[in-house]
Chain A
Amino acid sequence: MGASYAHPEVLVDTAWVASHAQDANVRVVEVDVDTKAYEESHVPGAIAWAWNTQLCDTVVRDILPKAAFETLMAQSGIGNDTTVILYGDNNNWFAAWALWQMKMYGHQDVRIMDGGRKKWLAEGRDLDTTATPAKPGAKPYKATGPDYSLRAFLPEVQQAQKSGSVVMIDVRSPQEFSGEILAPPGLPETCQRGGHIPGARSVPWGKSCNDDGTFKSAEELEKLYGAEGVAKSKPAIAYCRIGERSSHTWFVLKYLLGVEKVVNYDGSWTEWGNLVGAPVERGAAKAVAQA
């Protein structure tokens, strides 16, 4: 791996957004964990997507169906050639979830505002408090895919766990990894068993960010993930509880470090931790040599 990001073009900084948010071919979209944040204030010109209603199938547990994705893009004024800038709270956690789906459906130019909502606020930049009206595009949006080379389903993860040939990264907190808690503190428990997939390495997703919400340097990321066995040419699977925190790590590994075959297992712990007979390991993370 090199000393700079593998794909620096997927990031823009807050200054770039301040200058280009209103450009005709640019669409800025806020995607938050807390869907009320946008109503409180947002980047001028930005629209919002709610992860829990607009970025998933609300009946079947799945990503947004292709037709619904195309409709969302068209209603958001996004064409196939639009530059989409995603940002959000919690260091762009759900912005990465949106980017993962956009890449699965073949959108070419989608980027993340480095530092997200937090950095924008901390810098004291302009905010709007009224929702930006949606301006539907004139042309229909045409998605491709879905590209399942970016996503892992259960059978692939089970095979990877047995073979040991794939680096499995558990990006949840250390307490979730060990089995001490079954969901992030304050949230309802959504699994029957606590712990992690045997053989998984623990790298909490937030470790990839600086205090200001921006991503750590390529050098720091290489050190962080390299210590856990991640290499550019080695397949990797990222998982968390429902697949959103792991989409952040997926983004880091794929676009910042250039890992060639990295997938997001969005079934994650709410699938594995509820499976009858699935192997589960408990306890704190061990050093690589002990694993």
Chain B
Amino acid sequence: MKPEHFSERIVEVDGWQVNLTTYQLGDKWHTKADNVSPGAALARIVADTREDAEARALARAKELLSRTKRHAV
């Protein structure tokens, strides 16, 4: 099986940059959201469409990023 339609883009979520990677494998779409460093995977979603996979990955990333505190330096 070969991956198709690989794409990668940076999206801003609540002031944080998120790297969104998506590809299709068979009839499923796979999306991974990570913080842009990249430092950590925030979400990995499998869905029937690209739109659904990316929307759910971003929603999960938003939930996790909302917990990150910015400290005064």
Interface residues of A (CB under 8 A from B): 33-34, 36-37, 40-41, 89-91, 93, 118, 121-122, 124-129, 172-173, 175, 178-189, 194-195, 204-206, 245, 282-284
With A125-B2, A182-B71 known to touch, is A36 a contact of B44 (CB < 8 Å)?
yes
**Chain B residues near A41 (CB, 8 Å)?**
1, 3, 25, 30
Task: Give the CA-CA distance A187 to B37 in the complex, in Å.
Answer: 13
**Chain B residues near A90 (CB, 8 Å)?**
34, 38, 41
Q: How far is the CB of A120 from chain B (nearest CB, A)?
A: 8
**Chain B residues near A121 (CB, 8 Å)?**
3, 6, 21, 23
Residues in B4-55 with C-beta less than 8 Å from chain A: 4, 6, 8, 16, 21, 23, 25, 30, 32, 34-35, 37-42, 44, 46
Q: Which residue in B21, B46, B71 is a CB contact (below 8 Å) of A118?
A: B21
Closest to B68 in A: A185
Pair B25/A89 contact, Cβ less than 8 Å:
no
Pair B4/A124 contact, Cβ less than 8 Å:
yes
Task: Give the CA-CA distance A283 to B34 in the complex, in Å.
Answer: 25
Closest to B17 in A: A185
A-B contact pairs, 17 of them (CB 8 A): A33-B34, A33-B40, A40-B25, A40-B44, A121-B3, A121-B6, A122-B8, A124-B4, A124-B6, A128-B1, A129-B1, A173-B39, A186-B61, A186-B68, A187-B64, A188-B67, A284-B73
